[in-house]
Structure 1
Amino acid sequence: MSFCLTASRLMKASEVRKLCAELRNDPAILVLEMELKKEWYKRKMASAPTLAIAHK
């Protein structure tokens, strides 16, 4: 999953790398990411046609 990082000021590349590393290692964000992936997978499977319908 990808995130869009926005800043209210120009940041040095080292600051961006540090911030991204902090976000990547934050357990709360990891849990949120897993929940979003599960929800996305459920929606994807619900909208996918089943084999029984495809053969009619």
Structure 2
Amino acid sequence: MYFVISASRLMKASEVRKLCAEFRNDPALLLALELTVKQEWYKRKMASAPTLAIAQ
């Protein structure tokens, strides 16, 4: 399974390597982050979905 990590700020290469090492060494942390991201994505998807309302 491949993951793409994006940053909201410019990071140094050493910071990126450190984050990748943390994720590689702690699968539970990666799972928690993945669940959080999926929840946010689902919320945004549901917020932008059209509602089924009767037009009058």
TM-score range, shorter chain: 0.5 to 0.7
Identity rate of aligned residues, in percent?
56
Unaligned runs of 5+ in 1: 5-21
Q: For residue 3 of structure 1, what is the aligned residue in structure 2? A: 3
**Matched positions, count:** 38
Q: For residue 47 of structure 1, what is the aligned residue in structure 2? A: 48
- By relative contact order (CA 8 Å, sep 6+), the higher-ranking structure is 1
Unaligned runs of 5+ in 2: 5-22
After the TM superposition, which segments of 4 or more aligned residues of structure 1 sit over 6 Å from their partners? none
- Specify whether residues 48 and 36 from structure 1 end up closer, same or farther in structure 2 by C-alpha distance, changes over 3 A only: same
Aligned-pair Cα RMSD in Å: 2.9
The TM-score with structure 2 as length reference comes to 0.53
The TM-score with structure 1 as length reference comes to 0.53
CA distance in 1, matches of 2:52, 2:2: 32
